[in-house]
Every structure is written in structure tokens, then in C-alpha cells.
Amino acid sequence: MNTRTLVIGCNHRSASVEVRERISFNDEVAARALRELRTRYPACEAVLLSTCNRMELYLASPPGGPPGVTEAINFIAEFHGVPAAEFVECLYHYEGAAAVRHLFHVVCSLDSMVLGESQILAQTKRGFELARSAGTVGGTLDGLFQRAFSVAKEAHTKTAIAAGRVSVGSTAVDLAHQIFSHFDDKIIMMVGAGKMGELTLTHLLDTGPKRLWVTNRTDARAVALAEKIAQQHLVAVEAVPFAQWIDHLAEVDIVIASTSASEPILTARQFAPIPARRGYRPLLLIDIAVPRNIEPAVAEADGVFLYNIDDLQAVVEMSLAHRREAVGHCHQIIEAHVVEYLERCSRQDLGPLIAALQNHFRGVADSELQRILPKLGDISENDRALLEQMLHRITQKLLHDPISHLNQAAANGGAHFYADALRAMFNLTSEEEKEKE
Amino acid sequence: MNHELLVTVVCGVSYLVAGFAVYLHIRGQVWWANPVSRVAAAAAIGLNLAYLGRAIALEGLVSTFEHSFDAIVLLSTLIGLVALGTHLAPRLRGLDGLLFLAAGVVAFSAIFVLRQPSGVMSARPWFISHSLAFAVSGVFFIAGGVAGIAYLLVNWMLRRKRLALVRKVPPLESLERFGRWMPIIGFPVFTYGILTGLCGVAHRPDFATVWYRDPTFLFAIAAWLIYAYMTASLMYRPRIRGRRAATLATYGLGLVIVIFLAREFLSPLHQ
């Protein structure tokens, strides 16, 4: 590659949260850092990816030119005012093909804490957009990141890397979606104030239910909980007295039970009259309490779907197993794209060299033509054009085979030897520079 | 191989391929499954329509649907169109696979009536209404029955906690709504079909002595009673919903198949 690509950073495996938080960048700070980096190294391209689990700086600069690894580490240290010695041990860095491969792994979520999570792709896109608006993205990083996004898309569509849910809350949402097709007429009731229950409720609120009821064995706590949820999620929440919660089951569609009661708070006997009162509509009961809050026999009624924490956990495990199975296929996709990307870069790098070679040959032919023309005397315009054409065709034919070989070598990743030989033999370096000028 | 057999085999195989591709799409991340199912279904429907168009152009509307073969091609086309419709409705994804399979089975069943001579009812205006009404109501009942089967499968999956296919198959609520509307829409059309049939044959002098010997007529009346009960229950009885409604719709589908078999193989009077 004509440009050096480098990534330097740390992630949840290489650095503790104490280190990560000291060298992380929020959007505003990242934009400032990128601009500062550009001021310091004008020829360099940069993209910053900073999430709660990783901080990575992607750089593209002319070969041999700054910033290298040391300059990048110093820049991060100086920007954050943190001595480099405090975090340098936690950093990893990759260059060239390894950097490309690492980025593809990151966007495909193979390097994430939760395998296959889709957030990292959105975060990478945001980091890339931020760098673009800061003006630190050029041809190299633009091509690299666009390719990375298409690799991620391919991995997500062709493999099961992002299949299924990997949290209890989102699994509960999936179950709700499997039973109900729409939620704008549904009522959700949360029984108890367990942390897990609240987390599950947070996921379910995204479905946009019609109403939300909260109840607790201590009524005052139910009122406080309703107020807390209303404030946190900006939704209308009603507190229901615990003595009446079973009566309310006639109207409710989804129940999340997470009290710390040692005995079931809903038995099959208590539930028996409910299905008829609710017109046999389906009812989803999510019991994530241990010991369980709902007697298993309740699920025997028609249209009642009862799941406990083990059921939900089993789905999570199943999804993770599917994702792990897909890792091998993802690696294959990534490797194919890395090879293709590098080949493309090599071909692009050869463009100026080929142009220089053609110019060199044309120059020789032209000078020979200029030398011979006065000796030919008074020749017609037609004859002159014929001579020019002949020289042009000879030049093209002479160059056809070497250029084909060069392109073929580029495709096989071995163009550098030929390129160097051509530059040395025909003194093309200066011509390439002229091209650039 | 004559062109009727070719149409039957190609359409049947295409529908089955579409159904199998939908199954693959549901089971795993097979990226090509969706395009394959669409292409196969479109090919089957296109070929069916082309065949029907050609037949109508050559023989006229009434003569075309006198043939059992052509009536079955029409039925499989309509089921295929409903399947394609459910395929394009995200909330009913998964039901399309079962409907494609149903369309494939119906398409293949045309093989049994391939060489059957045309009926003697030709050119009677009531006959075309009667036969089309049965074809259209058959589509609604088959679609409702298939939705009922899908509901029972998803319900079983959820209650037995076999959760590998969660969110890959249509939600119960969608299946129930679809399964509820299909018989409600199909029932009046079916009633119309029975009435046109009655009007068509009531003037025959032997009608009073032969109607009870015709299995098609008897099964059709039984099916009408079941669907009448089901339609009324679906509209007015809250207890008949969910698993019960799905079970009823499945029985209805069974009866539709029985009527079809009776008409083709057990009912010389009806023929």
C-alpha cells in the first residue's frame, strides 16, 4: 500500500475500565482531538472510535511519515493529560493488513464483549461520520471504512453472528412479539420491585404499550416505584394496590413478576376464573423471581404463556451458541474481504507508476519523431498522422505485456518487486513525483 | 408430456420449492432463501396465470372452468397469491411457507383430473358462478385452515418452551386475526356457491330423489353447518378463540379436502 494504515487502541480485554475511562473520547472531545491531530500531522487521516468497551485510533499516513505508534501514544497522552506509562501497556497496535483485519473484526462484532452485538457497527459509523465532519477522512480511510461497513452487512446477513437475543430483557420482548402483533392496546403490569424486573420492563416499554401498571406487596413502595419509572421513562404509570392485582389480570396482557415472596403470589386456584373474565385473550406471564412467584399450574389454562428465569436464560444460551457457531464463517468472509481490499489498494497504488511508464515511452517516441521529421522534408499532414499513429501503436504493444504482468502480480500480492524494478530501470520515481505535482 | 402435465409438475414443484425456501429462511440465516422463495412462487403463479389466460382465450370463460383441471389450476393460483400476500406481510411471515405447500399440494392434485372429460353442464350461466364461488371460498377456507395449523404449531412451540424459532414465525395474534377473517369472508361466498348450485339443479325432475345420494352435496352441507357455527362463534362467542378457533379452522380445512375428494372420486351424480 502507498499509504500506511495503523490502528492503536485498547478494549475491554486489554485494559481495565479505570484505564479505558481515562483515555476515552466523547463526541465533542473526539472532534477536537481529530482536528488537533490534523493540525499536528497535516498529511494524516484519522478516525476515532471510542465506546465504553474500546478506544481505537485509526490512522492513515504516507509510508515512513508521522504519526507512527510512538507519536500516536504521545498524542493520546498529551491530549488527555495522562502519562503514557500509565496506559501504554494496555494498548495494542496493528499495521497494514493486520489493521484492516482488526477493523473488520470490530465491525462484525467478533471483538465485542457480547459476541454479535449490533451496537458496535452503529458506533463505528458514528465515529466515522464524526471524523468526516472534522475533515480528517481522506481516500484511504474512506475506502477502508466503507469496505468495513459492507463486510459487517454481509456477515450479519449471511451468518447467524447477530441472530437471537442475548439478554433476559430482550428475550422477554421477543416472547411478547411472538404472542402479540401490536402493543398499542396492551397493558403491562409489573409485580414487585426487583432489579431484574425493572430491567425487563425497560425493554418491554420500547414496544409502546397502552398502559403500565405497577404493584408491590407494600403499596407505598408501589406508588414510589410508579413515580420512579414514570420519571425515568417519561410514561404514564399507575400504582395498583396489591390486594387487587389478581383482579386486574382480567385486563392485563403482559405480567412481569419479580417479588421476593417466598411463596407463589399467584396460584392456579386464584387464576381459575381469570381466563373467562378476560375473554380468553392470550396472557404472557414472565416470572423472573427466585423463588418463583407464579405457580407453574397457572400455565395449564388456555392462552396463558408462562416463562421463568431459566426459560429465558436458556434462550439466551441458545442464541450465544448459535453466534459462536457462526464465528468461523465470519472469519472466512473477513479474510476474503481483507485479500480483496489489499489487492484493490495495490492496483490503485500501481496507477501512477503505469501512467509514468506510458509517459516515459511516449516521450521517447515523440522525441524520436521530432528528430526524424525535418529529415523527411515536406510531408503531408496525413503522412505525419500515420507516423504518429504507428509510434503510438508500437509503444502500446511494447508496454502491453509488462503492464499485464504488473497487474497480475498486483492481484497475487507481489507487485512490489516489479514496481521497484521498473522504477529503477526507467528512472520513473521522478516522473511519479511530477505526476503528483 | 402434454402441456397440462407440464404446468402441473412445474407449478407444483415451484410451490414446494418456495415453501421449502421459506422453511430454510425461518430455520437459519440462509441469505438466498428469500429470493428463491419469491422467484419460485412468482414462476408458479405466472405459469398458472399464463395457462388460464390461454385456456380462456381459446375456449372461453365458461368452458374453461367446466374442466376440473382448470378449476384446480385456478384454486392453486389463488392460494399461491394469498401465500405471496402473506409473504409480503412481515407479521404473517412463516405462514407463507405453509400456504405455498398447500398451493403445491393442490397443484399436484390436478394430476388426478388430468384426463377427465368435460362435464355436461356446459354454458349454463349459474355453473360459472357456482364453480368460481367454490374455488374462491375454498381459497379462504384453505388459507384459514392453514393459519389454524400454523397457530396450533406456534402455540405448541410456545407452551412447550421450544423457543428456537421465536420471532421467526408469525405472532399468535396475527395468525388468529388472519385465521378469524378467512372463514368470515369465505362463508358468504361458500353459501352463494351452494345456492347457485341448488338453483341450477332444482328444476331437474330427479332432484328430489337423488340429492341425498350425492356425497359432495352432503359434505358441502356439513361443511356449511360447521362454517356457519364457526363464523357465528368467531363473531359472537369469546370462548371460541385462540386454540379452539384454530382447531375448528383445521377441521374446516379437513372438510374442504373431503369435499374435493368426494367431488372428484365419489360423486358421479355431481360430475
Write the residue in A280, A307, A311 that is nearest to B239 by C-beta. Answer: A280
Q: Phi/psi of residue B138, each to 5°? A: -60, -40
Task: Identify all chain B residues contacting A299, using CB atoms and an 8 Å cutoff.
Answer: 159
Range(s) within chain A of domains with CATH label 3.30.460.30: 4-163
ipTM of the complex: 0.72
Give per-residue pLDDT as tens, A413-435: 667 777 778 888 887 764 445 55
Q: State residue A149's pLDDT score.
A: 95
Confidence at residue A327, expressed as pLDDT on a 0 to 100 scale: 94
For A17-73, the pLDDT digits (tens) are 888 988 988 888 999 999 999 999 988 999 999 988 899 999 998 877 788 899 999
- Check: CATH 3.40.50.720 for A168-313? yes
Q: Which fold has domain A4-163?
A: Beta Polymerase; domain 2 (3.30.460)
The Cα of A166 is separated from the nearest Cα of chain B by a number of Å equal to 13
Q: In A192-344, where do the E strands start and end?
A: 211-215, 237-239, 254-257, 283-287, 304-308
B164: chain A residues, CB-CB within 8 Å: 318
Half-sphere exposure of B270 (CA within 13 A, CB side): 24
Distance (Å) from the alpha carbon of B65 to chain A's nearest alpha carbon: 39
Dihedral pair phi/psi, residue A5, rounded to 5°: -105, 130
Q: Cis link prior to B90 (omega < 30° from 0)?
A: no
Taking CB atoms and an 8 Å cutoff, what residues of chain B touch A321?
A: none
Please report which confidence band the pLDDT of residue A411 belongs to, taking 50, 70 and 90 as the band edges. Answer: low
Q: Give the tens place of pLDDT for each residue, A155-169.
A: 998 898 988 778 888
Three-class SS state of A87: coil
Test the B interface: residue of A178, A284, A307 with most B CBs within 10 Å: A178
Distance of residue A161 Cα from the nearest chain B Cα, in angstroms: 9
CATH 3.40.50.720 range(s) for chain A read 168-313
Of all residues in chain A, what percent carry a pLDDT higher than 70?
A: 96
Q: Which residue has the higher pLDDT, B145 or B208?
A: B145
B46 shares contact with chain A (CB less than 8 Å): no
Is the model's pLDDT at A307 over the cut of 50?
A: yes
- What residues does each domain of chain B span? 1-118, 124-271
pLDDT band of residue B122 (cuts 50, 70, 90) is very low
pLDDT beyond 50 at A229: yes
pLDDT above 70 covers a percentage of chain B that reads 89
CB contact under 8 A, A280 and B241: yes
Distance from C-alpha of B70 to C-alpha of A65, rounded to nearest angstrom: 77
* B1-118: CATH, from 1.20.950, 1.10.760, 1.20.120, 1.10.260: 1.20.120
* B89 contacts on A by Cβ (under 8 Å): none
Degrees to nearest 5, angle at CA A260 with A259 and A265: 60
Which of A376, A402, A404, A405 is CA-nearest to residue A388? A376
pLDDT of A98 > 60? The answer is: yes
Tens of pLDDT, residues B176-208: 888 888 888 888 889 888 887 887 777 777 777
Which residue is it, cell 516515459? A360
